[in-house]
Amino acid sequence: MIGTVLSGRYKLEAKLGSGGMSTVYLARDTTLDRQVAVKVMHREMSEQEDQLQRFRQEARAVAKLSHPNVVAVIDAGEDGGHPYIVFEYVEGETLKQRINRVGALDPQEALAYAIEIARGLTVAHNRNMVHRDIKPQNVLIDAEGRAKLTDFGISRQLEQDGMTATGRVLGTTDYVAPEQAMGHPVDQRSDVYSLGVVLYEMMVGQVPFHADSQVGVAMKHVNEELPDVQQRRPELSAAAAMVVERATAKDPDRRYQEVGDLIDDLATALEVEAARAGATTGEATSVLEAVPPAERKLSGGGGRRSWLLIGGLALAAAAILLALQLIGSGNGPGGGGALKGKGSTVALSSASDYDPEGDGQENPETVSLAVDGNPTTTAWSSEHYDTDTFAGTKSGENPGVGLYVTARSTTTPSEMIVRTPTPGWDAQVFASPSGPPEELSEWGEPVGEVTDASDSAEIELHLGSPAKYFLLWFNRASPARDQEGRYQIEISDVKLID
């Protein structure tokens, strides 16, 4: 069709791409003398009424969307039995092409693109639409580096009950949500899952699952957990890994329920990566300029209380750079050399405060700082106590407070390394394969202990069987740094070592 002029206006000049339903051409709008992209439906597809309806649906749906991160629809029509849609022409490359060209993206760049894709999705979701085919092939990166979401070809207006029709699996299996792969009803949370897989691919450089057939890949999305992104990309922050984990939960109820919540956590993770790097790079700069400077929480999921307070960007630049240099060189407190000569680090998904002997919580707002990958400048702190034996907690055989970390899968670590700015405390370590147990007595016997802990305590662990939850139970506190005569625990980093 090169050279064809549709409706006397759009001259097709070159083929940009083709799919099962249509071909996209670079065209010249002869009326306004500008380049546009024209999607022309294949003639054999246009003869199928259901496919024609889907094509027209895309034009109507996207025409309602106006957002910098969504490719705009300019016009639509039919000419000589060829239905077509006219889009703005985005000069650049697809996100898939970029990943294929450079491999795994810089974490800041990946998070920035994910935020922009999510922003585009927000507009669609606010109009009660679900895209159903989020993949890097459907994300265009323009000349300024901005991500734009396109191809709403299988999007659907949600029905009154908030679900799409069942019985037909649509979408690309590399990114398909489990419920979509099974032909079950889908909603906005299915888009969240697919975006989580796209973020994984940007971080790692490849999709999480491979099989001999598309059905095989789809079934892996249904039955298998995504490979641990931090094992594939060890330098990635826990904040970023936690976003991937929650977005790709198999159960839709355990995912982000709204894209806005996903954007908040993506922005927080981007701040973490920027603070660790000492500066923002590329697209991350413009994205962060649009992010309110207030501290955010990484809300976690499935009942865990994972709060992430970020002060990195508010610190003086010199202080950030100094801390990062110390961490990178291994010369800071504990430094990067603390794990030299040891086994591999167990991937952790979260940290949670634990206070069954008190009011049920122990500064949950800061507990995720114990696993944020920054062992020198951020820390979880307990409440202040009048004695080193935690006066005010319930009387019992083992008064105290604690925090527990959750491994991504059951494991049998040989050691726990705990960094603290308030050394001198005593603690026991407990482990459980399920739960986490609500009462201390339900954790069983301790698997490790430390007395008069140093600023980098190495606690030997002796597990009889694999566990997933690891409780650090403090039964003697240290003098508080900020209040004379009072006692407190501060933990800046927790690691499990195989």
Task: Indicate the Cα dihedral angle 382, 386, 389, 395, nearest 10°.
Answer: -100
Outline where DSSP puts E strands in 434-489: 448-450, 456-460, 467-476, 478-479, 487-488
Query: What are the angstrom distances between the C-alpha of 452 and each of 119, 385, 421, 460?
Result: 49, 18, 13, 15
Is it true that domain 334-497 has CATH number 2.60.120.260? yes
Whole-model pTM: value is 0.58
Q: How many CB atoms lie within 10 A of CB 348?
A: 21
The dihedrals phi and psi of 154, each to the nearest 5 degrees, come to -115, 20
Which DSSP state fits 372? Answer: S
The dihedrals phi and psi of 463, each to the nearest 5 degrees, come to -100, 135
Closest CA to 201 of 171, 175, 165, 167: 175
What is the per-residue pLDDT for 63? 76
133 belongs to the catalytic site? yes
Q: What is the rounded end-to-end Cα distance, in angstroms, of the chain?
A: 61
What is the per-residue pLDDT for 444? 92
- Residues with Cβ within 8 Å of 213's Cβ and at least 6 positions away in sequence, in order, are none
The CATH class that applies to domain 92-289 reads mainly alpha
The CATH class that applies to domain 5-88 reads alpha beta
In whole angstroms, give the CA distance from residue 470 to residue 464. 14
Residue 471 in 3-state DSSP? strand
Q: Are 251 and 177 in contact (CB under 8 A)?
A: no
219 is written with which tokens? 């079934």
The dihedrals phi and psi of 365, each to the nearest 5 degrees, come to -60, -25
pLDDT in tens, the chain (498 residues): 899 999 999 999 999 877 767 788 999 999 999 999 998 887 766 667 776 777 777 677 777 777 889 988 888 888 888 888 898 998 889 999 999 999 999 999 999 999 999 999 998 888 888 888 899 999 999 888 899 998 775 444 433 233 333 334 444 689 999 999 998 888 999 999 999 999 999 999 999 999 888 889 999 999 999 999 998 998 999 899 999 999 999 999 999 999 999 999 999 999 889 888 876 666 677 676 655 444 344 334 433 323 333 333 333 333 333 333 433 333 333 333 344 445 678 888 788 999 887 778 888 888 888 887 667 667 899 988 888 888 766 655 678 899 999 988 889 999 999 999 999 999 999 999 988 888 888 999 999 999 999 989 999 999 989 999 999 999 999 999 888 889 999 999 999 998
Closest CA to 109 of 134, 146, 150, 142: 146
Q: Which amino acid is at 198?
A: V
What is the per-residue pLDDT for 302? 36
Quick check: do 5-88 and 334-497 share a fold?
no
Q: Are 403 and 429 in contact (CB under 8 A)?
A: no
Residue 85 in 3-state DSSP? strand
- Residues with Cβ within 8 Å of 466's Cβ and at least 6 positions away in sequence, in order, are 410, 411, 412, 433
Using DSSP bridges, classify how beta strands 34-41 and 73-79 pair: parallel, antiparallel or unpaired.
unpaired
196 is written with which tokens? 């989580």
298 is written with which tokens? 């990484």
* Angle of CA points 220, 222, 223, to nearest 5°: 65
**Can you give the residue ranges of every domain in the chain?**
5-88, 92-289, 334-497
Match 């957002």 to its residue by tokens: 67
In whole angstroms, give the CA distance from residue 38 to residue 52. 16
Q: Are 486 and 426 in contact (CB under 8 A)?
A: no
Please identify which of the residues 29, 75, 133, 353 carries the catalytic annotation. 133
Which DSSP state fits 208? Answer: S
What is the per-residue pLDDT for 337? 39
